[in-house]
Amino acid sequence: MFIAANWKMNLDKKSIKSFVEHLQRYKFSKNVQLCIFPPTIYIDFLSGLSQNIPISIGGQNCHHQPFGAFTGEVSAISLKEFGCDYVILGHSERRIYNKETNKSIKKSAQFGIDAKLKPIICVGENLDQRENGKALDFIEKQITDCLPEKFNDLIIAYEPIWSIGTGKIPHKTEIREMHKKIKEIIFSKSKKNVKVLYGGSVTEQNIQEILSVNNVDGVLVGGASLKIKDFLAIYGSAVKHL
């Protein structure tokens, strides 16, 4: 089971320090892996504070070139050098606000893998696509176009855009159908089994229900990962669920 905490552009040094102090007192389970994705500038700070706790750290994105004249961007190599094991790619906020495309996400994934990072590639339909029965086809195209040529360890996060930060989540049957389809598509292309996380308005209240769905291998948590109490309640529920 894998839990990803995507802090997005939130928290500061003081709140990160306090978050980690709570984590230091917490008894983690070996069976529920936790990875935190802080804002890039705090990766080193978080890494320094969390040396003695069993968490991984990841980047929220990496560029689609390994280095070069790309002001304000971060490379996969730099993330690795500062202690990251994972990188989120193709989050819908980056697709929308930074105009990232499936093609650029695929390249970022390849450079991430070359730098020995494990990519978590995000896919997800918008409300219109969901309501018009086009979600499965849309996700199939996103996966087909984003999937790197070669990979060993790759995670997909299914994050319906209409669910992110809205408090709405798909019906259990919709999550089950989508996760099954994602695994089938990837297996047919690569003969590999990948983990598929669910993301979008995950809370302490709905985590049990989400984890009870077949083929859900974990969750990607945004808003509810910012407050230690809410987040540890989610983590604790995941441990109980096993």
Q: How many residues bind to ligand PGA according to rule CB under 6 A?
A: 13
Q: How far is the CB of 219 from ligand PGA (least distance, A)?
A: 8
* Spatial contact of 185 and 121, defined as CB atoms under 8 Å apart: no
Q: How far is the CB of 167 from ligand PGA (least distance, A)?
A: 8
d(CA 7, CA 222): 6
Q: How far is the CB of 170 from ligand PGA (least distance, A)?
A: 12
User: Of the candidates 1, 222, 235, 238, which one interacts with ligand PGA according to CB under 6 A?
Assistant: 222
Specify the amino acid at residue 168.
Answer: K
Residue 199 pairs in a beta bridge with 220
27 dihedral zone (left: phi>0; alpha: psi -120 to 50; beta): beta
In angstroms, the Cα distances linking 176 to 33, 41, 183, 214 are 22, 36, 11, 6
Q: Interacting stretch for ligand PGA, rule CB under 6 A, among 48-56, 94-102, 125-133, 219-227?
A: 219-227
What's the CA dihedral at 89, 95, 99, 104 to 10 degrees? Answer: 30
Q: How far is the CB of 88 from ligand PGA (least distance, A)?
A: 8
Q: Interacting stretch for ligand PGA, rule CB under 6 A, among 28-36, 60-68, 132-140, 222-230?
A: 222-230
Using the rule CB under 6 A, is 223 a contact of ligand PGA?
A: yes
Is residue 209 annotated as a catalytic residue, yes or no? no
> Please, which of residues 44-83 interact with ligand PGA by CB under 6 A?
none
Rg of the chain over Cα atoms, rounded to whole angstroms, equals: 17
d(CA 150, CA 132): 33
Is residue 159 annotated as a catalytic residue, yes or no? yes
Using the rule CB under 6 A, is 164 a contact of ligand PGA?
A: yes
Check 91, 93, 100, 179 and give the catalytic one: 91
Place of tokens 């983690």: 28
d(CA 34, CA 157): 15
d(CA 208, CA 47): 30
Using the rule CB under 6 A, is 161 a contact of ligand PGA?
A: no
Place of tokens 């695929």: 106
Using the rule CB under 6 A, is 38 a contact of ligand PGA?
A: no
In angstroms, the Cα distances linking 99 to 90, 95, 105, 128, 141 are 10, 5, 11, 19, 17
User: Of the candidates 38, 159, 216, 238, which one interacts with ligand PGA according to CB under 6 A?
Assistant: 159
Site string for ligand PGA, 174-213 (x = CB under 6 A): -------------------------xxxx-----------
Q: How far is the CB of 214 from ligand PGA (least distance, A)?
A: 21
Query: Which residues of this chain interact with ligand PGA, rule CB under 6 A?
Result: 6, 159, 164-165, 199-202, 220-224
